[in-house]
Each structure stands twice: as structure tokens, then as C-alpha cells.
Amino acid sequence: RAPDILVASAATQSEVDRVVEQARVVLSTAGPFARIGQPVVDACVRLGTHYVDINGEPGWHREMIERYDEAARAKGVVLIPSSGFDSIPSDMACQWMAERVAVRFGKPARRVSAYVAMQGGMSGGTVLSGILSEEAFGRSRLADPYLLGPARRGGPRREDADVSEALWDGTVGSWTAPFAMAQINTRIVRRSVGLLAAAAPEAAARLYSADFTYTERAVAPDEARATKMARASEAPASKIRSMQQQGRLPQPGQGPSAEQRKANWFRFVLVAEAAGDDPSRRLYGSVSGGDAGYEETAKMVSEAALMLLERTGQATSTPQGGFRTPATALGAPLRERLHEVGIRFDELDEL
């Protein structure tokens, strides 16, 4: 039979509790998370219900870790935020490439670089989430490469900083620019590396060198377009809010139509380098799929939630409680499930 539909107001904690206590896993797609997400997280941690979401809001994500991670760990509640296009392709791809490097060269990866191309549009809700995130947490705090922790010993490095300008990249033979989702994706990847290092130092050392770096850029067709993308990435929240109010950007509730989504696609091209001085020790790969923000995000977060549900109560496979990442909580089995539903992870011989 069809599942029951339970209705609750996100603004009323008791109503949220009533729904959450009936579930084993909650899948949250309602944002902006900084505005309405906390009551759901709060209920899940208190009531012992596991949780996944599609948030791309690093400031809010950090705030939830600070408030609830300790209690979630103590109760064994697993929370896996950012399980949509932000940030499953980045997180799973980086882990996959590091595993391939270790098998092929017997050394850890020292760098994984991601180059992103896509066709697709954002919804008004996504635009508003970005506005609220910057207004609430400020650019300087959001610029912290290790905002989601764990903090890097020795502090952030220059190479950890977000890409902020148009750059020619000889590796892929293309102009590149800041990628809009890199601010959350890179921090999720760094959290994955740090969590693995804390939980299993030997396993982490096999995959990632002590100076490991992950970077992410958008691919642009030419210098002019790359420069325009770089300038757009510097636009303050006030300007973006004004553009939305003027109707130049979609309003909350507006987004790509079904026909538009059918034509959309994304592709990450990945370059992984092994530790050491031999430049030939490189591997290539790609992650690709259809409409990133909606069609494929729905697959990603659903597969993550189903996998977490299936593992619940299994002593050998239930992830450790607390705020995890897709890679640290679900790992290669999730990657295999995604491949089966059309989100491809392909090895490449060359670029």
C-alpha cells in the first residue's frame, strides 16, 4: 500500500517530534536549512532516529555539528548531511580515486583535482539558501577551508583556499573558474579525510598523504566566460537578494521544469596524483549523470537513506554515530548503488 503522509509544521517542535519518532531514518529535503532545518535535527538526535539531507549550507552544517555531534555519538544516531549533488559526487569520487591510487601505485594520493562541467539551473530556494548562509555566518567564516573540521594540524595552507579567479589549467587544457558548490564540497571531502584519520589512522595513511589536497573548479569554454564566472562568484549576498527581488533570479518555489531537467547533465573529471616525485603516477576518472540538482540529487539522497535504513541495527555495518559524511558512513557500497541507478563512476585512460 502507499505509505502514510504525515503533515507537520517545521516551526513547531512537537509536530516535528510526532513525525520523527515514527521513523527509523528521516530524509530531509526542506530548506533553507538555516531557517527550518534545526528542529528536524534536534528531534532525530533526541529520539534516536537516523538522518540524511541535501543541505549545501556549510555554516549551518557546522552549527549543527557543534550543537548535536556529541549527543548523537553518545546515542549512536547517524547523521549524514550533504547527501545530494552537494556533496556526494565530490566525496565519493575523491575516496574512489584515492583507493585506485593506493591499489595501482602502492602509495597514498597526494592530490585529487576535480573539474566540473554541467548544464542545469538552480531553484529559487537554492538561491535563497546561499543568501541566508552568507548573511548569517559571514564570508570570512565561510572561507575557512576546515569549517566542518576536523582542524588540520598546522592550520590551513594556501592550497586549501577556495578558487577565486579565472585560471588556465594545462592538465585539462581549459580555462577554469570558481565552482559554486565547491565551498561545501571541498569541506565535506576534508571532513571525510579527517574523520578517517581520527578513526583509523593506518587506513587513512594508505589512502591520503600527510599533505593531501583536494581542489574543485568549474570548466569554462574560454577566458571571457571564466572571468565572468569568477566575478559572479564574488557578488555579495545583498546583490543576489536584490536580483532575486527584481525577478532576475528564480523565486523560492520556482525552478527548472521537467522538460528542462531532461536536458540537464553533469560531469566531474578527476585527476589523482600519487605521493612522491614521479609525475607519471596519475590516474583519471569521471563521475557523470543527468540533472544534478533535482533528478540525480533525488537518487543520491534516496539511496543513502535506504542504505542507512538497511544497515540500521546490524552490528557489523551500522555506521558510527554522530555527524558523518557519505564516504565515511557508507563508502564504496553506496558508490556501487549509485552506479546501478545511472550515476556513473568511470575509469579513464587519459583526458
C-alpha closest to that of 22 among 41, 52, 43, 53: 43
Residue pointed to by grid coordinates 582542524: 151
In angstroms, rounded to a whole number, what is the distance separating the alpha carbons of residues 35 and 54? 14
Distance separating alpha carbons of residues 91 and 190, to the nearest angstrom: 9
Residue 17 lies in a domain: no
- Calculate mean pLDDT across residues 266-278: 96
Residue 314: per-residue pLDDT = 67
State the pLDDT at residue 316: 61
Residues of the chain with pLDDT > 90, as a percent, come to: 79
Domain that holds residue 195: 88-291+331-348
CA triplet 238, 139, 63: central angle to 5 degrees?
Answer: 110
What DSSP state is assigned to residue 293? Answer: I
**Could you tell me the pLDDT band of residue 134, with boundaries at 50, 70 and 90?**
confident
pLDDT digits (tens, 9 = 90+) for 88-109: 999 999 999 999 999 999 999 9
- The answer to whether the beta carbons of residues 55 and 85 sit under 8 Å apart is no
Lowest model confidence (mean pLDDT) among 87-101, 121-135, 161-175, 199-213 = 121-135
Q: What is the predicted pLDDT for the residue at 317?
A: 66
For range 186-206, the mean pLDDT: 97
Higher-confidence position of 17 and 279: 17
The count of other CB atoms within 10 Å of the CB of residue 204 is 21
pLDDT at 224 over 70: yes
The answer to whether residue 38 sits within a structural domain is no
Question: Is position 18 within any domain?
Answer: no
C-alpha cell at 133: 548562509
Domain assignment present for 314: no
Confirm whether 115 is domain-assigned. Answer: yes
The percentage of the chain sitting over the pLDDT mark of 70, rounded to a whole number, equals 98
Residue 2 has pLDDT above 90, yes or no: no
What is the secondary structure of 87-121 as a DSSP string? BHHHHHHHHHHHHHHHHHHSS-EEEEEEEEEEE--
Buried b (16+ CB within 10 A) or exposed e, 298-321: bbbbbbbbebbeebbeeeeebbeb
Question: In the structure, what pLDDT confidence band is assigned to residue 315 with cuts at 50, 70 and 90?
Answer: low
- Split at pLDDT 50, 70, 90, the class of 189 is very high
Residue 265 has pLDDT above 90, yes or no: yes
SS3 assignment, position 175: strand
Among 107-121, 170-184, 227-241, 293-307, which is the least confidently predicted range?
227-241
Is residue 58, in this structure, part of any structural domain at all? no
pLDDT interval class at 122 (50, 70, 90): confident
Q: How confident is the model at residue 51 (pLDDT cuts 50, 70, 90)?
A: very high
The answer to the question of residue 213 being in a domain is: yes
On whether the CB atoms of residues 290 and 351 are closer than 8 A, the answer is no
* Number of domains, the chain: 1
DSSP string computed for 119-133: E----HHHHHHHHHH
In a domain, 32, yes or no: no
Residues constituting the chain: 351
Q: Are 179 and 116 in contact (CB under 8 A)?
A: yes
